Structure 1
Amino acid sequence: MAGNLRSLRRRVLTPNVSETKLRTRGFHEKDAESRDLLENVGASFLTGYGHAVEARTVAEAEERLEEVPVRFRGFAYEGAAMGLTVLDALPGGGSRRLAGFLAGRGNAHIYMAYIGAGWAMARVPRFRWSKISLPDPVLRWLALDGYGFHQAYFKTDRYVHQHHEEPGFPWPADDPHGYARHAIDQGIGRALWFVGGTDVRVVCDLIDGFAESRQADLWAGAGLAATYAGGSREQELREFARRAGPYRVNVAQGSAFAAKARLRAGLSVEHTAVGTGVLCGVSPEEAAQICDDTRKAAADAGDGEMPAFERWRRDIALGLVARGGVR
């Protein structure tokens, strides 16, 4: 009986995989290869989500997540984090499933997990957000990256084509800098890589349509997606970097984040090196090391003049410039 209830919970709570089809979303299709890649990303996310909401325990969900192919496993962990966060936020949830996930194998995927929690924020009522525990003071902003991605992915006309912003965003409550909109824009920028179907020309044109004050965050998000998800060849990435112009360093920072997320989880693949080689001018290992070297100082500084997360991002960018790979 319990197994039947878990299966029912999965069917009720899991979005339909058709919602990840580019044609359903109205996204640009560059070619069949890129379409299949992006649709596999979406399907893997939902696979992870389903495993999480159906599993009896976090450990059981982890075992099933490890069966997802390496290239797409990070997206499955992201989806699983969303599912566990939704369960935590539901009335009667109260078992801190996400915390248990992050204490286990999910910790290697902590960047994607925090992003997945942001997807849940977009799906559960705001008065339930207090049930979502994201204790890392630096990484918590990744939840708003996930929120922004979700909104741009599912409400594309409003957030992408009409350039809707989120003024006075209510989370986190202790945001004296009003940084939430920047973190949300980073997620919107990441989603633009999907909306544009990995077609560099289309993605760059979409970013160019936004107000200049938002473009640094959008370019960073797109750079992250270009490296983590992939879908473009080396020459296309070179054009992407060229089109970024003065935001070239923001693209590099996002690409370095992607390398760090993949290497921490042991999921580096061929396109990770292509991405950082073109966009950062260094190997994935070097890019990840710069992320590591700069994080402690940013965390120690705390949220003084700016959030520690933003200080970290800027220090990563400076580190890449100092390494000589970005001009």
Structure 2
Amino acid sequence: MLLFNPDSDPALASQLTRLLDAQAGILEQRRFPDGESYLRVHSDCAGQDCVILCNLFHPDERTLRLLFLADTLRECGARSVGLVTPYLAYMRQDKRFHPGECVSSRPFARLLSAAFDYLVTVDPHLHRYDSLDEIYSISSRVVPAAPLIARWIQTHITHPLLIGPDSESEQWVSQVAELAGAPFQVLQKERRGDYDVSVSLPDLEDAAQRTPVLVDDIISSGRTMLETIKHLQAAGLPRPVAIGVHGIFAGDAYSQLTEVADVVTTACIPHLSNQIDIAEPIAEAVQELLAHHDTD
């Protein structure tokens, strides 16, 4: 097996190379003066299972070269070409809210489905979709972050109270709470704009002796968590821990959050807040998909 890492996290690539007993694929990449990309594969990939690790948290910068690489590997005789992207982009626009809007999750899914044999990701934003199979035509595995987060909470927090910032988070926040053996609350959120969010707090009686643990799938602007933390502070609760599966931290979101909370993320998007490892379950998912591919 060959593992290629065109644009992403070298630490995760090193872990996956070891866990998959793979070789690191060798690439040459540069840009021409006009901004176009040059790509050359130096590894012999004929008859090889090839895996590309490409974190798509900046998708517009990375997708074109990713597609070029997948196509080149196929032309060079790769036996299979799979994609590992811990953060799967363009999942949030899953409905046409206004006439003429692009439901970008669908054309993006068609692009990736045409280029790869399988896909591995971590907790994609499945809001109005029941599964990736609704828009992706290739085999896929979703690595759940809930067990990894629950294990971290059990190890690092003595008396946690899990808090979901909105109703969308209830299903999986309750799962984390169950796995961690901790109580949970879910708040009610009203979003009036990208940076205008209000949160209502349920009754948190008897919670003052517990550490609030805010859990969300994506921390982008951070406004939801910041608003929630204001309410927790007003209720006299201790300094919270804010956990995100995907820490995007747009603008100054991270610095604002660290002023009022301890911030922890999974290693899905490389960041100094990464404390929750994802390599082992991703490697297991790749091995499962390859075994399935071999039987087809």
**TM-score scaled to structure 2, two decimals?**
0.33
Greater per-residue helix proportion: 1
Greater per-residue strand proportion: 2
Query: Which structure is larger by alpha-carbon Rg, 1 or 2?
Result: 2
